[in-house]
Amino acid sequence: MTDSPYHSHVDDPAAVGRRLKEARLAAGFSQRQLSFPGCSAAYISRLEAGDRVPSLQLLRKLAAKLDADESYLATGIERIEPDPPAVVAAEVERRLAGLPAERRARERPPGGLDDPDERARVLWQHSRGLARAGDQREAARLARDALALLDFAADRRAARDG
């Protein structure tokens, strides 16, 4: 094992080894099948035993070969990739289009911005403006908030109509 107990790209060499072994077995690879030039089966065995700390580059290659999340192998925490803004935008449009035509046509429903559908519509319009202005991250956040409001409104309607 290395002298330093701290490795910025891994949480703990023994834990990395356990996760690597689990991913290897789940993928149906032997240590020899996972090996490649520059990373022998014996070295993989040492990694899995926690005796060696893999470099970030090596973790990336192993993760790619195992079709695993390199962040999970390194830290035990999966990287969560948000949906691309275009996917979120399409979902908001689809859900807003599913509202009754009379609801969509009204400028301000009786509830005003207390109405979740109307708040979702306002958030959606604002997110589109931000996207056009180049603030994709904030636009995506507001679009996801609009989706959450649409889900809330649908659940509320379903409970009411029961």
At 23-58, the pLDDT tens digits run: 999 999 999 999 999 999 999 999 999 999 998 899
For residue 145, pLDDT beyond 70: yes
pTM recorded for the entire structure: 0.49
**The predicted structure's pLDDT at residue 99:** 61
For residue 124, pLDDT beyond 60: yes
Topology of the domain comprising 13-75:
434 Repressor (Amino-terminal Domain) (1.10.260)
For residue 108, pLDDT beyond 50: no
d(C-alpha 85, C-alpha 143), whole Å:
8
Token pair recorded at residue 80: 């969560």
**The predicted structure's pLDDT at residue 20:** 95
d(C-alpha 95, C-alpha 51), whole Å:
52
Domain ranges of the chain: 13-75, 85-161
25 vs 144, more confident: 25
* Residue 92: half-sphere exposure toward Cβ, Cα within 13 Å: 30
Rounded to the nearest integer, the mean pLDDT of the chain is: 80
Place of tokens 């893999």: 54
20 vs 148, more confident: 20
Token pair recorded at residue 134: 């180049």
**The predicted structure's pLDDT at residue 26:** 93
**The predicted structure's pLDDT at residue 154:** 81
Token pair recorded at residue 76: 């035990």
Number of C-beta neighbours around residue 66 at 10 A: 20
**The predicted structure's pLDDT at residue 2:** 45
d(C-alpha 24, C-alpha 19), whole Å:
8
Select from 64, 62, 59, 89 the least CA-distant residue to 74.
Answer: 59
- Model pLDDT for residues 83-107, shown as the tens digit of each residue: 677 777 777 777 777 765 555 444 4
Average pLDDT over residues 144-152: 84
